[in-house]
Chains A and B, each alone.
Chain A
Amino acid sequence: MTQQTAAWLLVLALAGPGAAATAQERRIPLQALRSGITFVRPEIRAMQEDDFSNPGMLWVEKGAKLWGAGARSCASCHAEAEKSMKGVATRYPAIDRASGRLLNLADRIMHCRSERQGGPALRYESDELLSLTAFVSHQSRGMAIGVSIEGPARAHFEAGREFFDRRIGQVNIACTHCHDANWGKTLFAETISQGHPNAFPIYRTEWQTAGSIERRLRACLSGIRAEMLPYGAPEYRDLELYLAWRAQGLPIEAPGVRR
């Protein structure tokens, strides 16, 4: 055995099976990643690219107002969001060190509201929570997604990947079948995207309102006639972490516009 081979074997032995597996299993290589906006029709793209008439910006504006509202406002700890929240959305979902739980950005905002601001709990998919999430995510617009899957996040990442590959629903297909194997092809008149989370919260014309990634995952589940898990289900968080890893490097687009 050559010295070089021995050295490589040592590296692999130390790194463990996980690192080698993740390095190999990017089914869409990083340089082939494409945001969902590249798969929509020109009218939808025009809606997203015009900041004035992008309906999602209504939620961003509302979020800006909520940021500074009240005695123990977000601003009272975090000052100007343009500075303090820059880059934050690129790191979520992330493990909360205090509780050990995997939180997405909306969870973090809900947690702050209840635990630090002493305010009434924000409900999932409420106008208020969507506005704050849109506002905070928007501060990272243009920045690359970069989540950690190390340490305690690793187990969540693996669970998320397993969910992505699992056949479910009456249609009995897995996320990977559309979004890894058949992206770019058409389903009826729609072009299948790669299924990335980089534009959330989005204004979906199908919903005629803004919505979270959780809502979009529920929509996917209903689309393949699978049971829609309730908001807050750990499966969504694990899947969201996997999706964020899978979309590493894609720029945040919040607020996105999709069909």
Chain B
Amino acid sequence: MTARIQLVPPRPKRGEIVEIRVLIQHNMETGYRRDLEGREIPRNCINLFICRYNGVEVFRADLSSGIAANPLLQFHTIAEASGELEFWWKDDDGKQGTERVSIAVSE
């Protein structure tokens, strides 16, 4: 699953609050739609999203069909040490997605 990550500011100073923006390509299928032949399209949404900063969970979201397709999530964390931000999510079908970006924190 394609995901785009953006850090604002991209190179934070230690102690600065960083906004993390995530955009994931996913239909977030509600289960209420029908295709052009009239068949029900089964529900499949991302239901869990976790962000870890150097291995420690800093944000978690339980999601549902109430979140729009190609979900956008924007949240914050305090820039501490340089290292890695890891994003992990799974959908109702059990498919998992993951993305990693490095975070460079200046003193």
Q: Does B69 contact A52, Cβ atoms closer than 8 Å? A: no
In the assembly, what is the distance between CA of A55 and CA of B69, in Å? 9
In the complex with contacts A53-B21, A58-B70, A208-B4 CB distance below 8 A:
no
* B residues whose Cβ falls under 8 Å from a Cβ of A: 2, 4, 6, 21, 23, 25, 27-28, 68-70, 72
- Report yes or no: A53 in contact with B72, Cβ–Cβ below 8 A: yes
A209 interfacial by beta-carbon distance below 8 Å:
yes
With A52-B4, A208-B68, A209-B69 as contacts: A58 and B21 at CB distance below 8 Å: no
Residue contact B4 to A58, C-beta cutoff 8 Å: yes
Chain A positions within 8 Å of B, measured between CB atoms, are 52-53, 55, 57-58, 61-62, 203, 205, 208-209
What is the bound-complex CA distance between A209 and B68, given in angstroms?
Answer: 11
Q: How many angstroms between the C-alpha atoms of A146 and B6 in the bound complex?
A: 35
- From A203, A205, A208, name the one whose CB has the most chain B CB atoms within 10 angstroms: A208
Chain B minimum-CB-distance residue to A127? B25
Can you list 19 A-B contacts (CB < 8 A)?
A52-B21, A53-B23, A53-B72, A55-B25, A55-B69, A55-B72, A57-B4, A57-B23, A58-B2, A58-B4, A58-B23, A58-B25, A62-B2, A62-B25, A203-B70, A208-B68, A208-B70, A209-B27, A209-B70
Complex: how many Å from CA A50 to CA B21? 12
CB within 8 Å for A55 and B21 given contacts A61-B2, A62-B2, A209-B27: no
Q: Is the CB of B68 within 8 A of A52?
A: no
Contact yes or no, B23 A55, CB < 8 A: yes
Instruction: Say which residue of A57, A205, A208 sits within 8 Å of B27 (CB atoms).
Output: A208
Shortest A190–chain B CB gap in Å is 19
Chain A residues lying within 8 Å of B69, measured Cβ to Cβ, are: 55, 208-209
State the CA gap A53–B8 with chains docked (Å).
Answer: 13
Inside 8 A of B23's CB, which chain A residues have their CB?
A: 52-53, 55, 57-58
How far is B69's CA from A228's CA once the two chains are assembled, in angstroms? 26
CB distance from B21 to the nearest CB of A (A): 6
Shortest distance from the beta carbon of A211 to any chain B beta carbon, whole Å:
13
A209 to B69 alpha-carbon distance, docked (Å): 8
B33 nearest in chain A by CB position:
A208
- 4 further A-B contacts with Cβ under 8 Å, apart from A55-B69, A208-B69, are A55-B25, A57-B23, A58-B25, A203-B70
Which chain A residue has the least Cβ–Cβ distance from B28?
A208
> In the complex, which residue of chain A has the Cβ closest to the Cβ of B6?
A52
Q: Nearest chain A CB to B5's CB is how many angstroms away?
A: 9
Task: State in angstroms the CA–CA spacing of A186 and B2 once bound together.
Answer: 37
CB distance from A202 to the nearest CB of B (A): 13
Most buried by A among B6, B25, B27: B25
Between B6, B21, B23, the greatest number of chain A beta carbons within 10 A of the residue's beta carbon is seen for B23
